[in-house]
């Protein structure tokens, strides 16, 4: 023993499993991050298109919560008929209950260079892998950019025991 309490703490944690972690414990964190987007992430499509901002997590505990944090630092609507909408899909399916503007909305001419920021939580119902992906579209068909060249984007998934 070195007097710091190190041995006692190691003894307390030695047998800890994901299943025995108390409510509120962080079980895992995974993140997608691009701090220097190469080229505009843009579209004129009026149907949602995949952004490529995706992250997969395999839950360690049933009924846990996945806290989802998403941001794009510099989105823009650059045409007069451009309205930028964003959403998140889980395993390729719309996130049930997520509002139309939950991920963000921008309207030209005032919607230039604003970020999209979102935090939500998803309740785990099985231990199967979950893939979260951001999607975006131009409501009016004008050019929209979900992420500007040289800006940043990130998606963080945090599993919390319940």
Per the structure block, which two tokens stand in for 65? Answer: 């919560």
| Alpha-helical segments (H) within the chain | 6-13
DSSP run (H or E) holding 83: strand 83-90
pLDDT in tens, 63-121: 999 999 999 999 988 888 889 999 999 999 999 998 888 888 888 766 678 888 999 99
CA-wise closest residue to 67 among 19, 103, 118, 20? 118
Q: What is residue 2's predicted lDDT score, i.e. its pLDDT?
A: 56
Question: How far is 160 from 57, CA to CA, in rounded Å?
Answer: 12
Please report which confidence band the pLDDT of residue 19 belongs to, taking 50, 70 and 90 as the band edges: confident
Distance separating alpha carbons of residues 59 and 26, to the nearest angstrom: 11
Ordered DSSP codes for 9-39 = HHHHHTT--GGGSPTT-EEEEEEEEESS--S
54 pLDDT higher than 80:
yes
């Amino acid at each position: 023993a070195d007097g710091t309490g190190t041995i006692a703490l190691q003894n307390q944690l030695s047998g800890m499993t994901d299943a025995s972690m108390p409510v509120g414990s962080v079980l895992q964190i995974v993140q997608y991050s691009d701090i220097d987007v190469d080229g505009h992430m843009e579209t004129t499509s009026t149907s949602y298109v995949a952004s490529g901002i995706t992250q997969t997590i395999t839950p360690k505990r049933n009924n846990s919560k996945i806290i989802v944090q998403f941001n794009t630092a510099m989105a823009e609507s650059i045409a007069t008929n451009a309205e930028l909408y964003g959403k998140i899909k889980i395993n390729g399916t719309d996130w049930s209950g997520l509002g139309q503007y939950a991920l963000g909305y921008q309207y030209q001419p005032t919607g230039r260079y604003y970020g999209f920021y979102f935090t939500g939580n998803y309740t785990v119902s099985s231990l199967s892998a979950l893939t979260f992906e951001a999607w975006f579209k131009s409501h009016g068909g004008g050019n929209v950019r979900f992420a500007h060249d040289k800006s940043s984007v990130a998606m963080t998934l945090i599993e919390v025991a319940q």
